[in-house]
């Protein structure tokens, strides 16, 4: 049974959203673009698992795949705008800290904003033909790992980041399994059955994303132990590592479906979350 004050809380959220429509638009457009990117990554990985082309790729590879489609420049432009909106939304969250989580959460929001801002720049590069869409390589795992390893206590710092990445995504998997999603979807506009399936989609998607990003953490730990930045890897290397295991194609197919589920869940957030204004 809903709490007596639930409708009042919803009314308050809607009033805040109405007073700051630009924030709502930023967030919804950003989550939609993020969902599209993960959908492409998941579909390409699923095709690779089925032996029908495709590829184990990352976000930059997804943008290049989008650029190769009919009307690719238009599609890429829309996604690029969405990625820029998502980056700006994260910067806004870092500035106002709406949940009151403190400096660590602000830093996390800025970091995510920089990553998605770099992806937006990559999209522009692909549209204009300036380079091959690798303008965000300054944020690649190998490049920043090499910079950190060159510093005093660099190996310790890289290893610590690797442990932190694994811990964070394992915690996300645990929270999703408990039904407490990090990026909540207000499902009041969905029916009971639809809401249950939305939660299942989110759980499966977050679990799959957690697996591949935990592998990224392992790569970082390996880079620190061996003092070799080339051991660091991103989403594409994580998917390749899954494919190289026993029954790798089956495992890759499951993870690919999970990434499609995660992308779909981001689209549901963009559409059905009642408010992004706290």
Per-residue pLDDT of the chain (278 residues; tens, 9 = 90+): 444 444 444 444 454 544 467 778 888 899 999 999 999 999 999 999 998 888 888 888 888 888 888 888 898 999 999 999 999 988 888 887 666 667 877 888 888 888 898 889 888 888 887 655 554 454 566 777 888 888 888 889 989 988 998 998 888 888 777 766 655 555 555 667 777 788 888 889 988 898 888 998 899 899 889 888 888 888 888 888 888 888 889 999 999 999 999 999 899 888 877 776 65
> What pLDDT is attached to residue 79?
93
Whole-number Å distance between alpha carbons of 268 and 230: 37
Q: Residue 37: enclosing H or E segment and its boundaries?
A: helix 21-49
Closest among 215, 212, 171 to 42, alpha carbons compared: 212
> What pLDDT is attached to residue 6?
42
CB-CB contact of 159 with 221 (8 Å):
yes
DSSP, res 153 = T
* Cβ within 8 Å of residue 233, ≥6 positions away: 141, 142, 215, 216, 219, 241
106: left (phi > 0), else alpha (psi -120 to 50), else beta?
A: alpha
> What pLDDT is attached to residue 252?
92
Q: State the angle between helix axes of 21-49 and 59-67 in degrees (0 to 180), rounded to the nearest 10.
A: 90
Whole-number Å distance between alpha carbons of 11 and 234: 42
Whole-number Å distance between alpha carbons of 90 and 110: 6
Closest among 114, 110, 127, 117 to 63, alpha carbons compared: 127
> What pLDDT is attached to residue 7?
45
Whole-number Å distance between alpha carbons of 77 and 218: 34
Whole-number Å distance between alpha carbons of 131 and 263: 27
CA 258 to chain CA mean position, Å: 13
- Alpha carbon distances (Å) from 186 to 45, 76, 107: 30, 29, 26
Tell me, yes or no, if the pTM score tops 0.85. Answer: no
Whole-number Å distance between alpha carbons of 185 and 195: 9
> What pLDDT is attached to residue 98?
61
Closest among 218, 243, 242, 244 to 231, alpha carbons compared: 218
């Amino acid at each position: 049974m809903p709490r007596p004050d639930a409708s009042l809380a919803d009314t308050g959220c809607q009033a805040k959203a109405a007073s700051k429509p630009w924030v709502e638009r930023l967030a919804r457009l950003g989550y939609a673009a993020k969902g599209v990117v993960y959908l492409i990554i998941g579909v390409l990985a699923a095709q690779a698992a089925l032996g029908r082309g495709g590829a184990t790729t990352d976000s930059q590879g997804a943008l290049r795949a989008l650029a190769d489609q009919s009307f690719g420049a238009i599609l890429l432009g829309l996604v690029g705008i969405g990625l820029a909106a998502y980056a700006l939304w994260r910067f806004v969250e870092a500035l106002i800290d709406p949940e009151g989580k403190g400096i660590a959460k602000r830093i996390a929001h800025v970091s995510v904003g920089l990553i998605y801002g770099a992806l937006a720049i990559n999209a522009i590069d692909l549209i204009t033909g300036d380079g091959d869409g690798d303008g965000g390589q300054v944020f690649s795992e190998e490049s920043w790992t090499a910079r950190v390893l060159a510093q005093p206590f660099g190996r310790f710092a890289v290893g610590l980041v690797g442990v932190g990445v694994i811990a964070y995504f394992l915690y996300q998997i645990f929270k999703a399994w408990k039904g407490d999603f990090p990026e909540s979807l207000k499902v009041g506009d969905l029916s009971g059955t639809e809401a249950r399936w939305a939660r299942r989609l989110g759980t499966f998607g977050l679990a799959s994303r957690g697996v591949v990003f935990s592998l990224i953490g392992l790569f970082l730990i390996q880079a620190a132990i061996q003092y070799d930045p080339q051991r660091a890897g991103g989403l594409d290397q994580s998917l390749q590592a899954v494919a190289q295991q026993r029954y790798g194609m089956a495992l890759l197919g499951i993870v690919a479906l999970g990434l499609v589920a995660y992308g779909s869940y981001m689209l549901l957030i963009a559409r059905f979350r009642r408010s992004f204004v706290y």
